[in-house]
């Protein structure tokens, strides 16, 4: 932990899920890892996570093994009532009262407050902080408008309120970290100090990665009948990840007799809707559900892929896409969020446009794949951990010092 000011603890509020095993050890989904939480523990003594509880039995080692184990004993958790998976809880004012009371207790204990946006839990915490004049740090990692309007009728109804909440949280934050360079800053501006810092955790780049990718692509000329493996990393349960658009593009290619791809999906969640879609489209033989993977396995999985696609209906700045680029993978992505900041414009398709995806896949050649591999590998260098650490540490150190001063340092 960085010294030089009053030592203190911090709370981290977000609507994601975490789990505990029978020994009390904590696990998070693929969005988080111990390395990510280490960022905060450089500046604070302890970190308390305020998150939802995953519906995983503490004895279910198979499911827990696919999550990320948190190994630092300075991290603990307070589970918040789940208002997202239960309509009853969502509409129950008593549940919201319990959430507010938990947040008020944690904020009132003299903790520095870190909010990850967007979640209703973070909004409630922000309102408490603003009312009490407490400085907080907000991290903008996605756009609720894009997320909810592509989700369901319920999502469309909730979207205006969610946008209002996020704008409130970002506007009043003493410190704001955005994962994009321009997109989120424009939609959700802040009056506080801000920085653009991608939420990535890349391995150090090695030339061997690019050399191996070159060899893998060149080998395609010797085995033209081999199916190319397309990968997408993300939950298979939420519609806004957009995998269905790739399914339909593959079905179109198969109908024309020109499909030379298989689609690998890495991510947790209920996959029944996508499995049914694959069956209805007649492409079950082209789809591979890999399930949830610990973060440390993702790079090995990416190295096995030939192509990556991020067909999402909403993004902040896609960490999964940047990780794929760092492994010299040719990639395509939809035109949402920060995706256009990452890829060659020719590799960006209109969100949900199946014909554009089909056309991009059909036109892929080894020569083009080599060009994209080189370009993506070098562009991903901008997001190396060592380059980003300095910017992130500066913001967190300044925030920690201001929080300490507020509480009497």
DSSP string, 379-398: HHGGG-HHHHHHHHHHHHHH
Question: Quick check: is 5 in a domain?
Answer: no
Per-residue pLDDT, 134: 97
Per-residue pLDDT, 138: 98
With a CB cutoff of 8 Å and minimum separation 6, the contacts of 336 are: 146, 312, 313, 314, 315, 351
Buried b (16+ CB within 10 A) or exposed e, 118-156: bbbbbbbbbbbbeeeebbbbbbbbbbbbbbbbbbeeebe
Question: Quick check: is 399 in a domain?
Answer: yes
> In terms of Cα–Cα distance, which of 359, 314, 362, 357 is closest to 339?
314
Mean pLDDT over residues 136-153, rounded?
Answer: 85
Residues 345, 290, single domain; the answer is yes
Per-residue pLDDT band for 18 (boundaries 50, 70, 90) equals: very high
Mean pLDDT over residues 107-118, rounded?
Answer: 94
Per-residue pLDDT, 3: 44
Per-residue pLDDT, 203: 67
Residues 106, 124, single domain; the answer is yes
Per-residue pLDDT band for 409 (boundaries 50, 70, 90) equals: low
pLDDT at position 295 over 90: no
Question: Quick check: is 4 in a domain?
Answer: no
Residues 270, 246, single domain; the answer is yes
Per-residue pLDDT, 86: 65
Per-residue pLDDT band for 88 (boundaries 50, 70, 90) equals: low
Question: Quick check: is 2 in a domain?
Answer: no
Cα gap 135→146, rounded to integer Å: 28
Residues 345, 393, single domain; the answer is no
Residues 83, 117, single domain; the answer is yes
Residues 108, 182, single domain; the answer is yes
pLDDT at position 151 over 70: no
Cα gap 246→249, rounded to integer Å: 5
Question: Quick check: is 336 in a domain?
Answer: yes
315 with 335: CB under 8 angstroms? Answer: no
Mean pLDDT over residues 59-68, rounded?
Answer: 90
**Least confident among 41-50, 80-89, 378-387:** 80-89
Return the higher-pLDDT residue of 242 and 294: 242
pLDDT at position 148 over 70: yes
138 with 169: CB under 8 angstroms? Answer: yes
Per-residue pLDDT band for 60 (boundaries 50, 70, 90) equals: very high
Query: 54-68, 292-306, 341-355, 375-389 — which one is most confidently predicted on average?
Result: 341-355
Residues 93, 35, single domain; the answer is yes
Whichever domain contains 107, its CATH number is 3.40.50.2000
Residues 291, 391, single domain; the answer is no
165-214 pLDDT, tens digit per residue, is 999 999 999 999 999 888 999 999 999 999 999 877 676 788 999 999 99
Residues 280, 358, single domain; the answer is yes
Per-residue pLDDT, 5: 44
Cα–Cα separations (whole angstroms), residue 90 to 23, 76, 87, 128, 180: 31, 25, 5, 20, 30
Per-residue pLDDT, 9: 96
Q: How many helices (H) and strands (E) does the chain have?
A: 16, 15
pLDDT at position 6 over 70: no
Total count of domains within the chain: 2
Question: Quick check: is 1 in a domain?
Answer: no
Cα–Cα separations (whole angstroms), residue 231 to 323, 331, 354: 12, 9, 17
Per-residue pLDDT, 389: 85
Taking all residues of the chain, what is their mean pLDDT, rounded to a whole number?
91
Per-residue pLDDT, 26: 95
Question: Quick check: is 245 in a domain?
Answer: yes
**Least confident among 46-50, 129-133, 384-388:** 384-388
Buried b (16+ CB within 10 A) or exposed e, 379-403: bbeebeeeebeeebeebbebbbbbb
With a CB cutoff of 8 Å and minimum separation 6, the contacts of 62 are: none
Give the H or E element holding residue 94: helix 93-108
> In terms of Cα–Cα distance, which of 407, 409, 400, 399 is closest to 108?
407
Question: Quick check: is 237 in a domain?
Answer: yes
Per-residue pLDDT, 4: 44
β-strand pairing of 10-20 with 112-117: parallel
Residues 233, 145, single domain; the answer is no
Per-residue pLDDT band for 383 (boundaries 50, 70, 90) equals: confident
Global pTM?
A: 0.75
Cα gap 270→272, rounded to integer Å: 6
Cα gap 73→37, rounded to integer Å: 12
Cα gap 113→400, rounded to integer Å: 10
Mean pLDDT over residues 43-57, rounded?
Answer: 95
Return the higher-pLDDT residue of 317 and 60: 60
Residues 75, 173, single domain; the answer is yes
Residues 223, 151, single domain; the answer is no
Decide: helix, strand or coil at residue 331: strand
Mean pLDDT over residues 233-251, rounded?
Answer: 94
> Other C-beta atoms within 10 Å of 221: how many?
10
Mean pLDDT over residues 121-144, rounded?
Answer: 95
Tell me which residue range forms the domain holding 100.
Answer: 10-201+385-406
């Amino acid at each position: 932990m960085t010294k030089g000011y009053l030592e203190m603890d911090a709370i981290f509020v977000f609507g994601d899920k975490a789990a505990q095993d029978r020994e009390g050890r904590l696990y998070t989904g693929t969005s988080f890892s111990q390395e990510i939480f280490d960022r905060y523990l450089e500046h604070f003594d302890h970190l308390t996570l305020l998150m939802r509880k995953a519906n995983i039995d503490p004895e279910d080692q198979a499911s827990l093994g696919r999550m990320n184990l948190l190994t630092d004993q300075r991290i603990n958790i307070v589970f918040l009532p789940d208002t997202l998976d239960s309509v009853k809880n969502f509409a129950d004012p008593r549940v919201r009262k319990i959430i507010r009371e938990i947040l008020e207790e944690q904020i009132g204990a003299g903790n520095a407050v870190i909010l990850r946006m967007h979640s209703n839990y973070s909004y409630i915490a922000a309102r408490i902080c603003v009312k009490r004049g407490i400085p907080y740090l907000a991290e903008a990692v996605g756009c609720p408008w894009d997320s909810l309007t592509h989700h369901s009728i319920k999502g469309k109804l909730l979207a205006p309120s969610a946008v209002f909440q996020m704008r409130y949280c970002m506007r009043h934050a003493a410190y704001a970290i955005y994962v994009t360079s321009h997109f989120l800053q424009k939609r959700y501006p802040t009056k506080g100090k801000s920085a653009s810092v991608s939420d990535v955790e890349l391995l150090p780049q090695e030339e061997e990665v690019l050399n191996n990718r070159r060899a893998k692509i060149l080998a395609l000329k010797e085995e033209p009948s081999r199916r190319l493996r397309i990968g997408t990393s993300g939950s298979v349960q939420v519609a806004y990840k957009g995998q269905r658009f790739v399914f339909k593009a593959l079905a179109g290619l198969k109908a024309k007799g020109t499909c030379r791809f298989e689609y690998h999906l890495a991510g947790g969640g209920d996959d029944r809707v996508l499995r049914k879609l694959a069956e209805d489209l007649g492409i079950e033989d082209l789809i591979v559900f890999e399930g949830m993977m610990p973060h440390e396995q993702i790079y090995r999985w990416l190295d096995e892929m030939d192509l990556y696609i991020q067909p999402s209906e909403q993004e902040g700045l896609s960490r999964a896409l940047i990780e794929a680029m760092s492994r010299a993978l040719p990639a395509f992505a939809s035109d949402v969020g920060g995706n256009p900041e990452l890829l060659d414009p020719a590799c960006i398709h209109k969100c949900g446009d199946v014909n554009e995806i089909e056309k991009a896949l059909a036109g892929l050649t080894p020569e083009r794949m080599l060009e994209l591999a080189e370009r993506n590998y070098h562009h991903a260098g901008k997001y190396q951990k060592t380059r980003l650490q300095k910017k992130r540490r500066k913001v967190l150190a300044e925030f920690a010092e201001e929080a300490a001063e507020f509480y009497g340092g």
